[in-house]
């Protein structure tokens, strides 16, 4: 697989692997062995960029990556995240915590779970309204100077926050949701990133699976948290699925799956973009990776836009 440069000194595979689902986001967590097999299969197929977070599990995901990538640690880039107050027994923390002392504690714990001496890319998982971003950037800068972290990242931050953080310590990458059905970043965020030389890492480039066409309305069980999302339920799901069917038809004419066309579209929005689709299955992993080889012409991109027009998706992201 070819590589892309997110920022100076941070070169990664064109497509990364979002690892959240390995620890149970969409079903039971994979065993340590099964997770390791998938991680190494991704590496064998050219993936060198792996995304995790302390909150995935919580904590389980980082341990899965630590064990699964141990033998190839120096050949891969591992990104993890801080920013939540995690209470044992609470799977979905609601409280933010980016206090400097908390960041330092979290980084030491993440290093232990990952079994490594450095975190290649450390993101603030979400902005913390109680802590100035200057304090966050300064603290991560200290950790970089100490050698515990190599690059500083933000996630779901607005343009003004990105600028404030970057003024204190260079931001290497921003991670936010971006796909054919979530295009908010195009207005202010992407121009800001390109002005400052910051790479972009889209999560959910497949719309949490919806853009693959395999999640027709009513398919998800009530136990799946996506079933409660506005875009996945009721009339919104029906209208949104009609867009996906149009994308499927276009993809079939070109010899691809809808998911592959969706990932290829994201990749063609700029060479500074590295999507991180997630999966628990080898066949889906191979399908996603193959999207990196798709070349889209201007006509192809226009046809995709016509099949999936901006502004036609109904329902909020969460």
The alpha-helical segments, DSSP class H, found in 155-269 are 159-168, 189-196, 234-254, 258-267
> CA 289 → CA 69, 163, 205, 257, distances in Å?
19, 33, 13, 12
What is d(CA 237, CA 243) in angstroms, rounded to the nearest whole number?
10
* Whether 265 contacts 292, CB under 8 Å: no
Q: Is 263 exposed, middle or buried (0-12, 13-18, 19+ CB in 10 A)?
A: buried
Q: How far apart are CA 204 and CA 182, in angstroms?
A: 9
Whether 56 is catalytic is yes
Give the active site residue among 26, 43, 56, 123: 56
Closest CA to 189 of 146, 216, 154: 154
Peptide bond into 52 cis (omega under 30): no
Active site residues: 56
């Amino acid at each position: 697989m070819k590589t892309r440069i997110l920022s100076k000194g941070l070169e990664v595979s064109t497509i990364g692997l979002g690892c959240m689902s390995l620890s149970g986001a969409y079903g039971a967590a994979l065993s340590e062995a099964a997770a390791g097999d998938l991680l190494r299969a991704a590496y064998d197929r050219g993936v060198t960029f792996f995304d995790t977070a302390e909150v995935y599990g919580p904590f389980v995901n980082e341990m899965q990556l630590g064990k699964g990538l141990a033998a190839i640690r120096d050949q891969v880039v591992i990104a993890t995240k801080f920013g939540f107050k995690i209470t044992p027994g609470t799977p979905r923390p609601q409280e933010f915590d980016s206090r400097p002392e908390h960041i330092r504690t979290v980084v030491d714990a993440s290093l232990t779970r990952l079994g490594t001496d450095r975190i290649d890319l450390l993101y603030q998982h979400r902005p913390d309204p109680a802590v100035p971003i200057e304090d966050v950037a300064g603290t991560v800068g200290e950790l970089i100077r100490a050698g515990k972290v190599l690059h500083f990242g933000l996630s779901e931050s607005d343009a003004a926050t990105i600028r404030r953080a970057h003024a204190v310590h260079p931001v290497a990458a921003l991670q936010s949701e971006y796909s054919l059905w979530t295009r908010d970043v195009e207005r202010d965020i992407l121009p800001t990133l390109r002005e400052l030389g910051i790479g972009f890492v889209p999560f959910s480039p497949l719309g949490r699976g919806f853009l693959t066409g395999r999640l027709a309305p009513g398919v998800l069980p009530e136990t799946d948290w996506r079933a409660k999302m506005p875009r996945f339920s009721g009339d919104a799901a029906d209208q949104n699925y009609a867009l996906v069917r149009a994308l499927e038809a276009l993809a079939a004419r070109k010899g691809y799956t809808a998911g592959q066309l969706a990932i290829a579209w994201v990749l063609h929005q700029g060479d500074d973009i590295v999507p991180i689709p997630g999966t628990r299955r080898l066949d889906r992993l191979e399908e996603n990776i193959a999207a990196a080889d798709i070349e889209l012409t201007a006509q192809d991109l226009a046809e995709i836009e016509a099949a999936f027009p901006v502004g036609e998706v109904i329902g909020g992201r969460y």
